[in-house]
Amino acid sequence: MTNTRVLSLNNLSKRFGSVVANDAVSIELHRGEVLALLGENGAGKTTLMNMLFGHYLPDGGSIDVADESGDMRPLTLGHPQAALEAGIGMVHQHFTLAENLTVLDSILLGSESLLAWRHKRKAARAKVGRIMQRTGLTVGLDEQIGKLTVGERQRVEILKALYHDARILVLDEPTAVLTPQEADTLFENIGAMTKDGLSVIFISHKLREVLAFSHRISVLRHGKLVGEIATSDADERVIARMMVGADTPTTPREAMAPGAPVLALKTTTVKGDSARTSLHAVDLTIHAHEIVGIAGVSGNGQSALARLVSGLATPDSGELLISGKPIHRFTPPVMQKAGVGRIPEDRHHDGIIGAMSVAENLVIERLRDSDVQKYGFLQQNSIRSHAQDLCKDYDVRGPGIDADARLLSGGNIQKLILARVFECMPDLILANQPTRGLDMGAAAEVARRLLEARARGAGVLLISEDLDEVLALSDRIIVIHDGQLHEAHTNDREAIGLMMAGEQA
Ligand SMILES: Nc1ncnc2c1ncn2[C@@H]1O[C@H](COP(=O)(O)OP(=O)(O)OP(=O)(O)O)[C@@H](O)[C@H]1O
Ligand SMILES: [Mg+2]
């Protein structure tokens, strides 16, 4: 890393209605530097990066970017094309690649016309090959995007940015969807890229990786830059304080005797799209007052299990009982009536309807109730006052209860879902990756609510790739591998890790 400046954000501000998403934020980036951008959900991180990338026009401030010879030049604001040409690449958290294209075509797409690109494919293939060799980011150029894992798709997104000569790369929560192993590989690759002079800004809620892989940390709080620190001077506690202005409380998990079974699977089989992603004749019991954590690398049958318990899949054989009653028809409303509350994995797509208001999303699973609907008309007054109460109780912050739910930050969407689920007092809670992408405060809040539900007598099926979370919350840990469940009988991180990799303890 050198001290040569490559980017400076100068007093950038952005408002959305009454929300000040960024308030005169100034940040500098140097050549070869890895800068971690931290802050609570809704602190304004994505907004800031969207201004850098030209997606949003700032209300005030300016941006300077170094050109190829190192001279700082003002960037034309609000134009993604200008940002691209200035050497800025961005990898969004939700990937944007078309499923049916090959890797090479995806990388080229957008830079050349269809015809021109037929001629240039050979040169392009060679250029991408050189980039792969230098950075270690390898992926088969003729593979179809639809066949790649999430980690591979992300590699394609990064390769695409590098192919377009990015000198500054922005990664918005790049590891939120990766396994721990994929995340480590990503950071090794980033290390190789920065040796080439690339500068990186990455957004993350995972302090462990921030401490291990960044050079410097900038922290946003309520839209303002509240601190910058060299990573070598930081530890988890220092950063947490900068982010929230106080220590994050953790809820202790008190010992509790399990009650009656709320979920029972009896030699239940659910077919996924491959043997690995199916559930094979599994037995599982979860009791009242009990949190059972399912640990495992994604793609080992977790989604079949989650779909089954949500009522989105029907077992091919075997049984499922909720609070002792066998379920015969599998649909989400049937499961919900039986007492299952669902915190879905993909909160943006399965958790909310983005184009409906926050208030409406809070009653979406109760549309037939009389306080919500009468004679086919939505009861707006009662829906709104209900929303006001819930948003206060669950601290859902954002542009207000009448705004579209899609405008909430990730953490606030999750709080909305929690409010909706917990309000119905379910006997069984399916919590699928409940803290993915959440800041420490929001994650602690999810943990507190799950423990509260357990104390009240609910059973919780916690599916998580975050082993630390499973360890912290679970009364019992079950490892899922190749569609089979194995009780861990231990709290040892390493032993569980080995089981996750398929080695029998
Ligand atoms: N297009 C928009 N319209 C209205 N409000 C918005 C819009 N985009 C963001 N906001 C609001 O601006 C604030 C900052 O949001 P932003 O997405 O930048 O947060 P973040 O730091 O990236 O959070 P997270 O960690 O949850 O991703 C939030 O209060 C959010 O609700
Ligand atoms: Mg964000």
Label residue 166 by pLDDT band (50, 70, 90): very high
Can you read off the two tokens belonging to residue 45? 């991180």
- Alpha helices by DSSP H, 269-401: 302-310, 332-338, 358-361, 380-393
**Final residue in a domain of this structure, among 393, 425, 457:** 425
Span 135-150, pLDDT tens digits: 888 899 999 988 887 7
Domain presence at residue 347: no
Domain presence at residue 170: yes
Can you read off the two tokens belonging to residue 5? 């400046």
**Final residue in a domain of this structure, among 410, 425, 440:** 425
Q: Say whether both 193 and 73 belong to one domain.
A: yes
Q: Is the CB of 407 under 6 A from ligand 1?
A: yes
The rounded Å distance from CA 241 to ligand 1 centre is 21
- Overall number of domains in the chain: 3
Q: Is the CB of 42 under 6 A from ligand 1?
A: yes
Q: Which residues contact 161 (CB under 8 A, 6 or more apart)?
A: 89, 90, 91, 169
Q: State which residues form the domain around 401.
A: 353-425
Phi then psi dihedrals of residue 58, to 5 deg: -65, 155
Q: Say whether both 415 and 443 belong to one domain.
A: no
Q: Say whether both 417 and 288 belong to one domain.
A: no
The rounded Å distance from CA 44 to ligand 1 centre is 6
Q: Is the CB of 39 under 6 A from ligand 1?
A: yes
Quote the pTM value.
0.72
**Final residue in a domain of this structure, among 244, 275, 299:** 244
Question: Nearest 5°: CA angle at 280, between 288 and 453?
Answer: 20
Q: Say whether both 77 and 220 belong to one domain.
A: yes
Q: Say whether both 291 and 188 belong to one domain.
A: no
The rounded Å distance from CA 478 to ligand 1 centre is 36
Q: What is the dihedral of CA 80, 85, 89, 90, to 10 degrees?
A: 0
Q: Say whether both 261 and 314 belong to one domain.
A: yes
Q: Which CATH number covers residue 300?
A: 3.40.50.300
Cβ atoms of residues 214 and 202 within 8 Å: yes
The rounded Å distance from CA 447 to ligand 2 centre is 21
Domain presence at residue 346: no
Least confident of 74-78, 208-212, 246-250, 419-423: 246-250
Domain presence at residue 218: yes
Q: Is the CB of 44 under 6 A from ligand 1?
A: yes
Residue 493's CB is within 10 A of a number of other CB atoms, namely 11
Span 342-400, pLDDT tens digits: 999 888 888 899 999 999 999 988 777 878 888 878 888 889 999 999 999 998 988 89
Span 106-134, pLDDT tens digits: 888 766 565 666 677 888 899 999 999 88
Domain presence at residue 483: yes
Q: Say whether both 272 and 377 belong to one domain.
A: no
Q: Which residues contact 167 (CB under 8 A, 6 or more apart)?
A: 6, 66, 87, 88, 197, 198, 199
Q: Is the torsion defined by CA of 53, 54, 56, 61 positive or negative?
A: positive
